[in-house]
Amino acid sequence: MEIQDRVAIVTGAGSGIGCALAEAFASAGTRVVVADLDGPGAQATAERIRSNGGSAVAARADAAATEDIAALIALAERNFGPVDIYVANAGIIGASGLGTDEDWETILDVNLRSHIRAAKLIVPEWVSRGHGYFVSIASAAGLLSQIGAAGYTVTKHAAVGFAEWLAITYGDDGVGVSCVCPLGVDTPLLDAVRGATESDVRMSAASIVQSGSVIGADQVAAATLDAVAADRFLVLPHPEVLGMYRHKGSDYDRWISGMRRYQRSLRQG
């Protein structure tokens, strides 16, 4: 998709990957609605974009709430025009282990249902117009698995699956989809996991930082924009993830055994 002169909504854009994505799209000529539960964070991102000559408005919004998604779409239309690109970036790491029923409801809402609810509101309009682009910020945990956090692993796998379904179902109708699956990224989310007191959460953080280099959010944003411009589905800011994914698929039992060994080594460390 041509990025210049488009209109985009980016959720979770008050910091981290979302902030980098909003700024990168704006630098490429996209008019951006910056959304985040952290209202002041969203405002700060939008102000930086405007100070650099870009076009942006900000809103405090719950990316998992249908009414808030609808309000973001309406805000974009009032200020810039119909939405061309929706970046479903907002996400949480969730509880360690199996968690509670409440933990599951929360992480399913934020990491998965937010994507589904946004698509239900915006994809039919894209189909009628013959173009639109959905960007799912998932994780390498959606292709592999995240040690220590069942909710994160399950919802990121589901986000990848939903992105695949969108691409298959609506690709012939002009709807593009990119699914972004990084490993460790230097963001407040990773900082929170690293600084946790629970041993399982610290083990989860160790598995992230030891499995590959920790890269900047700007690198994820650059890879994402390249993929949107090229209409490419799978975005791997850490190229080594492809080798890991192929290894997993080539011998699932061997991969699970290796992951168990890796988990034991983290616990002993």
Give the Å distances, CA to CA, from 207 to 145, 212, 255.
10, 9, 15
Q: Label the pairing between strands 234-235 and 175-180.
A: parallel
DSSP 7: E
Is the pTM of the predicted complex or chain greater than 0.75?
yes
Tokens of 207: 């598995």
Local structure of 232: helix, strand or coil: coil
d(CA 112, CA 158): 7
Where do runs of H (alpha helix) occur along the chain? Answer: 16-27, 39-51, 66-79, 101-108, 114-129, 150-170, 188-194, 199-211, 217-230, 240-250, 252-268
Q: Within 10 A of 250 (CB to CB), how many other CB atoms are there?
A: 9
Please tell me the distance from the alpha carbon of residue 66 to that of residue 55, in angstroms, as a whole number.
25
3-state secondary structure of 149: strand
Let me know if 86 is a catalytic residue.
Answer: no
Count other Cβ atoms within 10 Å, centred on residue 165. Answer: 13
Residue 114 burial (C-beta neighbours within 10 Å; 0-12, 13-18, 19+): buried
Q: Measuring CA to CA, which residue among 147, 228, 229, 222 is closest to residue 182?
A: 222
Could you read off the pLDDT tens digit of each residue along the chain, which spans 269 residues?
Answer: 899 999 999 999 999 999 999 999 999 999 999 999 999 999 999 999 999 999 999 999 999 999 999 999 999 999 999 999 999 999 998 888 888 999 999 999 999 999 999 999 999 999 999 999 999 999 999 999 888 889 999 999 999 999 999 999 999 999 999 999 999 888 777 666 655 556 666 666 666 666 778 889 999 999 999 999 999 999 999 999 999 999 999 999 999 999 999 888 887 76
Please tell me which residue in 86, 133, 152, 170 is annotated as part of the active site.
Answer: 152
Residue indicated by tokens 């980098």: 20
